[in-house]
Structure 1
Amino acid sequence: MEKTLNVQGMSCGHCKMSVEGALKNLDGVSAAEVNLDAGNVDVTYDDSKITVDAMKEAIEDQGYDVE
């Protein structure tokens, strides 16, 4: 499955690494690609292992808001 999440507050390379790292550490997420210009992250994941809510929570734990 693929999902694009809109994330508020990302502005730099550190933000990108924080969000991608948090997502990639989750069991079931195979890829995460942040687009700083668009303010979103494309996530490839296995929906039998992880929920969108869990991914949102991981991003919010890094200090960013998910729409």
Structure 2
Amino acid sequence: MKTEFIVSDMTCNHCVQTITQAVQTAAPGATVSTDLNTHRVVIESAAAAAVLQAAIADEGYDVQPA
């Protein structure tokens, strides 16, 4: 299942790495794609959207459904 979020404060490659690691810890095997220009995070995973959103938020990011 594809889930998309807007992470308005994702501004650099360090942010991308942190978000990717958080998602993959919460949902092993998840595929994470990011676009720094649009602040969009696209996740391909069987995990529930709420679990993925919480994983990103727990790292301190403002994350909203796209």
Q: Which structure shows the higher strand fraction?
A: 1
Cα RMSD over matched residues? Answer: 1.3
The Cα of 1:27 is off from its aligned counterpart by 3.0
Higher relative contact order (CA 8 A, sep 6+): 2
Aligned to 1:26: 26
Q: TM-score, structure 1 length as denominator?
A: 0.85
Count of paired positions = 64
Match of 1:60 among 50, 57, 61: 57
Q: TM-score, structure 2 length as denominator?
A: 0.86
Unmatched 5+ stretches in structure 1: none
Q: Percent identity?
A: 25
For 1:28 and 1:51, the matched residues in 2 are separated by: 13
The Cα of 1:29 is off from its aligned counterpart by 4.8
Unmatched 5+ stretches in structure 2: none
